[in-house]
Amino acid sequence: MTNPVNGCVRVGQSAPDFTATAVVDQEFKTIKLSDYRGRYVVLFFYPLDFTFVCPTEIAAFSDRYGEFKDLNTEVLGVSVDSEFSHLAWIQTERKLGGIGDLNYPLVSDLKKEISAAYNVLDPEAGIALRGLFIIDKEGVIEYSTVHNFSFGRSVDETLRVLQAIQHVQVHPEEVCPADWQPGEKTMNPDPVKSKEFFAAV
């Protein structure tokens, strides 16, 4: 486990690496974050299996996994539950409060080391807040957001930000304005050239 400076991770830093047991296609597998170098990673934390908001998020990311795959991106879900709890939840139908088969790994953080490394562990509750990190092909954190327990995240917004990150990495001379979507106009981060964008809108 690579510990960030002062226990805090920030955008622009290397993502703390980890090795953990995950449930992949209803099997237990050992995965390392660094194994995904060369691909983007959406790493998201959620509080607990067999709860209420969590299955809606997990299922939503799974249902749209193909869109992430098309963007050379892996999705990893993490909670402090054991791999056995993950498997039981996956083997429970959605209509019964389960999540059914998933298209991406569900990682066990039973020792709470990953949640602590990413600074999303709530020490009083002993579970992770709803942290989400987008990590680029070089293993650098490009985006992070942390929600409280009671409300879920947006798959649409995660995809939008991911596409913006990928766009500016391919086109470093451009920046993306608010609510930018693929195909829309970008701007040049220059006092003079940026006026072309503002004049057009």
* Cα 38 from Cα 30, distance rounded (Å): 19
Query: Which parts of the chain register pLDDT below 70?
Result: 1-7
The CATH code of the domain at 5-153 is 3.40.30.10
Asked about 54 being catalytic, the answer comes back as: yes
* CA-to-CA separations, 147 to 45, 68, 80, 150, in angstroms, rounded: 10, 21, 17, 8
Structure tokens at 75: 């999705």
- For the chain, give every domain's residue range: 5-153
pLDDT at site 7: 55
* CB count in 10 Å sphere of residue 122: 13
Q: Give me the catalytic one of 33, 54, 106, 176.
A: 54
Q: For 199, which DSSP code?
A: H
